[in-house]
Amino acid sequence: MDKQRTIKKEVELEGVGLHTANRARMKFKPAPINSGIRFIRIDLQTRPVLRAEWNNVLAESFTMRRTSLGNQEIQVHTVEHIMAALSGLGIDNLDIEITNNEISGFDGSAKVIVEALSKAGIEEQDSPRNYFVLREPVYVQEEDASIFALPSSEFRISYTLSYEGPPLLRSGYLDYKNNPDFFKDEIAPARTFCLEEEADDLQGKGLGRGANYENTLVVGKDGVVKNKLRFEDEFVRHKILDLIGDLYLLGCPLKAHVVAIKSGHALNLKLLRKIKQQKDRLYISGVQLKEQPGENEQLDTEEIMRILPHRQPFLFVDRITYLEKGRRAEGIKNVTINDYFFKGHFPGRPVMPGVLIIEAMAQVGGVMMLSAKENLGKLAFFMAANNIKWRKPVIPGDRLVLEVEVVRLKAKTGQVRGRARVGDKLVAEAELMFALVDR
């Protein structure tokens, strides 16, 4: 199983932003597991933190020709090259301290960033990578540009470039399969570009103030102006670089085959939004163990909420009192008159609905099954309940003890037996079936 990665030691870079021309110093620092990629504006007094994820992506109307992050406090512009470098090198956790509002452009590619991070060294961390595996095809289109994302066991991009205008941009195709060495040598050095006829207009709109003929390939009718190509198909390679960076703003590595035709940042981010929506739908309906608890560990409500996606009023476990990984667990639900379901379920004589007792068993069962090392990072979907028996009513004031044990646990399915007790009285029992799927 792939492990999460960070860098071994700190490394610094300094340069000028391609669009704002603002000079920024950046310090890359190792970060702990599950922390993700975080930008920290150390030039501001409060040192605000901005996570590199979809929720912080700014609308295109604020960030033409680039991808930017922001919230009510801060903005960080032109993050696509640095995000591509992190994706290509397989870095999951990193803190990036920055002294201005735009990532330095360097030579217009990700080459300088990749070289610096590689020199700092990349090390594995003691936790599996949190991939999102696309389940259903996703498609977006805008005029003559389009992107398909198809389910796949790997991350792959097939990009077709086709523009009217200079011959260099009329056609191009490249199929990229995720590989750190190929990325470092063949994708990261590809530089950003624009048409010669666009240059003045872009700068008139406040863009490209830090651009020059060295860090931007300016394409005229007779070829590249005052520069030479690093690759014959450098333009399509740079488009792939941008797409890799944009997709890494999902907040985790993606497994999907992305087929793109003439896409740019705006369309890339529309695709990202649809993938994020699919990811959210999947996670809402499944139990996900984010951290692996210790053997026989007890978990309080706050710790349970770091493991389960459920929140009040649909969290029915107050405490895990016993946990034998992948074999047996015991949890507690303290039933009170303040529980929301008593407002409508026999309000004159409140009784806890039987289906909610079964759901409470399932929540304990999900934690227990996913605590096994081989299932860490998977999702557990409650599929069926058999041989259900409700023996006694559960009322306010009862302390519901939920016991689950494994009947059968395979790579993709799990079956558990659950019992619910109040004191020494058995109040309900059932056999529960789960599907175990990769994220």
Contact 385, 432 (CB under 8 A): yes
pLDDT at 411: 73
pLDDT of 312 strictly over 60: yes
pLDDT at 421: 93
Task: Give the side-chain half-sphere CA count within 13 A for 264.
Answer: 15
pLDDT at 381: 80
Q: What is the mean pLDDT of residues 338-346?
A: 78
Per-residue pLDDT of 56-115, as tens digits, reads 999 865 556 789 999 888 999 999 999 999 999 999 999 999 999 999 999 999 999 999
pLDDT at 63: 59
Per-residue pLDDT of 239-291, as tens digits, reads 999 999 999 999 999 999 999 999 999 999 999 999 998 887 766 555 555 45
pLDDT at 185: 97
To the query of whether residue 257 is one of the catalytic residues in this protein, the response is no
Q: CA of 134: how far to CAs of 31, 240, 243, 280, in Å? A: 27, 19, 16, 12
The total of other beta-carbon atoms located within 10 Å of residue 340's CB is 10
Q: What is the mean pLDDT of residues 45-50?
A: 93
CATH code 3.40.980.10 for 287-437: no
CA–CA separation, 244 and 253 (whole Å)? 10
CA–CA separation, 434 and 439 (whole Å)? 15
Listed in sequence order, the residues at least 6 apart from 101 whose beta carbon sits closer than 8 Å to its beta carbon are 17, 20, 22, 24, 41, 74, 75, 76, 77
pLDDT at 160: 95
pLDDT at 205: 58
**361 vs 287, more confident:** 361
Q: Which pLDDT band holds residue 221 (cuts at 50, 70, 90)?
A: confident
DSSP state of 77: B
Percentage above 90 pLDDT, the chain: 52
Per-residue pLDDT of 67-84, as tens digits, reads 999 988 899 999 999 999
Listed in sequence order, the residues at least 6 apart from 220 whose beta carbon sits closer than 8 Å to its beta carbon are 166, 195, 196
**309 vs 142, more confident:** 142
pLDDT at 314: 78
From 19, 77, 81, 265, active-site residue: 265
Ordered by start, the domain boundaries in the chain are 3-284, 287-437
Q: What is the mean pLDDT of residues 399-416?
A: 86
Listed in sequence order, the residues at least 6 apart from 438 whose beta carbon sits closer than 8 Å to its beta carbon are 131, 133, 377, 378, 379
pLDDT of 222 strictly over 70: yes
pLDDT at 321: 85
Mean pLDDT of the chain: 87
Per-residue pLDDT of 156-197, as tens digits, reads 999 999 877 677 777 789 999 999 999 999 999 999 988 877
pLDDT at 280: 78
Strand order of the β-sheet with 23-30 is: 11-16, 23-30, 94-98, 37-41, 49-51
To the query of whether residue 77 is one of the catalytic residues in this protein, the response is no
CATH superfamily placement of domain 3-284: lpxc deacetylase, domain 2 (3.30.1700.10)
Q: Which pLDDT band holds residue 51 (cuts at 50, 70, 90)?
A: very high
Helices (DSSP H) in 352-424: which residue ranges? 354-370
